[in-house]
Structure 1
């Protein structure tokens, strides 16, 4: 689990650290990459969705999976804090809306990511996943 979460974190961090882009552009790239990845997995016959999302759902009620659940929960808290810090910078620079606190915006982004993963898992198309992403981006757009 730790290796999977670490690889996922590195992928996201690679986008977040692109200082040539505004924070809003980075969030857009994150969603674009996520949607493309989900559709690519489907095209190649690999399972869509997200291992950590699926594990979190299963582990919540299974004492045998308490360690995995703890790892996912900690990773989520850490990733939300990282995301909020980037959003805070974006708000200060004027490229992220200030109508919500950065921590709340990070929760919206996370909810959209989970929603896109679930939508992919049930066979939704690009348009459906794009609608989820665009809804989250509205919260960020000044």
Structure 2
């Protein structure tokens, strides 16, 4: 499958973004919150197949030397075809001059390792939902 890659938010179905993130077990919010986050991001990537959005991701960045990747997801029925890798490579190509951080869903660390990411020893977080993030295994 060769998806179409788009680097803008034109025509995005924000309800589908929210629903996909919920379905794959990631943090999700109201559609308009996702729209605000993606539109404020340095880099956005949306994959389409037959005019339907099938995956997405984004990076925030200062544009100089730091970036962070968020919300990388592929609709479940399209997983297993290398589309997550396609999204990540597209994002990383736009911030190739930057140090890049992310936090992965539990169990997805091997995927990010395959892209060159390594575990950080000094990572810290100040989450709004402290207990929930600890229960999910993100913090101690």
Give the TM-score normalised by the residue count of structure 2: 0.28
Higher share of residues assigned helix: 1
Higher share of residues assigned strand: 2
Give the TM-score normalised by the residue count of structure 1: 0.28
